[in-house]
Chain A
Amino acid sequence: MKESVRQKKRSVMEDHAAVLQKVTKEYRLGNNVVKALDGMDLVIPSGVMAAIIGPSGSGKTTLLNVLGALDRPTSGKVSIVGTNMGGLSEAELTAYRRKTVGFVFQDYGLIPNLTALENVMLPMEFARLPWREAKERARSLLEAVGLAHRVAHRPNRLSGGEQQRVAIARAMANDPVIILADEPTGNLDTKTGKEIIELMRDLVKERKKTAIIVTHDETIADNADIRLHIQDGQIREQT
């Protein structure tokens, strides 16, 4: 009886991209302790585009860091595609960042002295993919984001929108399950921002990924499958 309950629970966990149970994250600022996440419970199903909105300092980026294994929670349980993150070693967390998640940053986070192609190849090199294979895959990803003609350009020769497309291609490099994007349109004009979100939505649907996007932009949130409103380190509203 107990075993069947356990199996049911495991199955629920695996069906979801991310499950957070009573997760807290505290930071020490001098003598003060700041709770960035305050006992957060959250479930994000697989294959959706989820938008996390909320005011500055509400804990959005901290949540993204915890989901991306850039930070460990102070307490609580984080489960990503059925894996309990609390039990992973540093090396396993690195492997998780390399294989399971892909990051997209507001300022693109591209390496300035590498070409677009080399930037996309980088995560694959970290994953020890053979060079030729990595190059082919990077080309095809850049083609998918509409940058086949810009592969040899360095970031400073690309527009903001193009740089973010390279960043999205890089995030997809190792075929991750989840794409985590922190204000991906924050540095872009409205039109380009819309194009980027549409691109992300298309890629997520086409490649059956889960996207979790932190944003201030209400229009992005309106177009997401799930909208999570976060305040004071807790989910206030989920629609």
Chain B
Amino acid sequence: MMVVFSLGVRNVYRNGVRATLVILVLGLSVGLVVTMLKTSANTRAQAQTLKSQIATLITVGSAGQPVGGSGWQILPGEIAGLKDLPRIAGVERYARRQFVDNTRRLQASYGVIIGVEPGATLRLSAMGGFVGSPKIIEGRNFVAEDRDKAVAVVGKVFADERGLKIGSRLAIPVAQLKGRGFPAKRRIKDLEAEVIGIFSVGVVWGDNQLFIPLSLAQKVLDMGGGVSVYYITASSAEHVPRLAKSLKKIFGKVSDVISQDAAATKAANSMEEVSSTSRFGATISAGVGALVVLFTMMLVTRERTREIGILKAIGASNGNVAGLFITETIALATVGAVLGLLIYAAGGSLLANLFLGSITEGALGGTGFGLSLGDMVYGLALALLFGLVGSLYPVYCAVKMRPSEAIRHL
């Protein structure tokens, strides 16, 4: 069947312009479907991560100080029983202090210094809601060696306002750190540190904050080993209510215990909506791909009616005729798949943002669009499916054609 196979492949290029256009549309369709499905999978995974990360998170802050920036603190002795509690997957300690710089424009005058242990999640001080996860846009995050160093990872607004670059030295004087309600007996110092990283969340409140190592924060703010807030991760979301109850029972007098499962569920639901939208987009793209093949093969069958008649007259069986068209469709779909995968590899991230816009921003983070072997197999299988679905009816018409009528066709 070498000649029959070869004829099927060669038939693809009988009309070069049409073949090129069909391959382009098919390629775009495959590229879009793979992109949309990948976006859907990515956002679903992100939603799951968000649910597992935030839905399991319990904040234990100094009582009456939800922002944790007032300078009040929880001393180690006050929360000593924490380590004995079951159902805890992790504990992260944070020191926070608000600063006010009246020399800046109003929007950038309020900020927060956050002390974190190197390796811990960079969590911004939220005021009125989740401000997003910081993304390092320049320099680096903390590493273990930074534990006792005077270094800082600052927000973009904070850096821009002060003309700070990586390697610059920043200074926040005591006057800006003191304020109403701050315990007078604590001897706070000027903060001086070297900028090692700049982050952004795209929100002024978030981007006017800065992270420093916890030990430096405790030293500058004279916290005596205390912290402003504990982020406690429950071993699973189901354990959160019972764990929060236990925490309230033990530390209720000195701390406010807040679980964030509701907020996380809301955020995760939004991501799942993006996931559904992507799947819908993928379905539409797949439909367009199959329709393009259908119309093309219908046209081809019509154009080659007499040829089909001649093939039948010289002994082609229905299987031979079907095989010829299916080979042509497979060849067309394979070239379309290769193009589609190239489109996906080169511009998957761009396409996702173009079609899903700002809802994917941050959620996708430009990650997860690499071309894997699985994607290639998937793209090819998809294109073949479009091809086979689209050519089903035209092939049926070609097979059912009566040779005498087909030969009369001009």
Contacts and interface: CB of A to CB of B under 8 A. Distances in A.
Interface of A: 65, 68, 70-71, 90-91, 94-95, 97-99, 102-103, 105, 109, 111-114, 118, 121-123, 125-127, 131, 170-171, 173-174
Contact of B310 (A95, A109, A113): A109
A103 B403 CA distance: 12
B316 A126 contact: yes
A98 B7 contact: no
Contact of B7 (A68, A91, A111, A174): A111
Interface string B377-410: 0000000000000000000000000111001000
9 contacts: A94-B317, A95-B315, A97-B314, A97-B315, A97-B403, A99-B315, A118-B6, A122-B4, A125-B1
Contacts of B404: 65, 70-71
B39 to A, nearest CB: 41
Contacts of B313: 68, 70, 97, 103, 109
Nearest to A90: B318
A174 to B, nearest CB: 7
The contact size tier of chain B is 20 to 34
B407 A98 contact: no
Nearest to A107: B306
Q: What 7 A-B pairs come out closest when comparing CB atoms?
A: A98-B315, A70-B404, A71-B404, A126-B315, A109-B310, A70-B403, A65-B404
A121 B310 contact: no
Contacts, number: 77
B135 to A, nearest CB: 55
Contacts of A122: 3-4, 7, 311, 314
Most buried by B among A68, A70, A99, A102: A70
A113 B3 contact: no
B312 interface: yes
B192 interface: no
A103 B404 CA distance: 12
Most buried by A among B3, B6, B402, B403: B3
B14 A170 contact: no
B87 interface: no
Contacts of B3: 114, 118, 121-122, 125
Nearest to B5: A125
B38 to A, nearest CB: 38
B11 A113 contact: yes
B10 interface: yes
A51 B318 CA distance: 32
Given A97-B313, A99-B315, A109-B310, A114 B407 contact: no
Contact of A131 (B2, B307, B317): B2
Interface string B300-332: 000000110111111111101000000000000
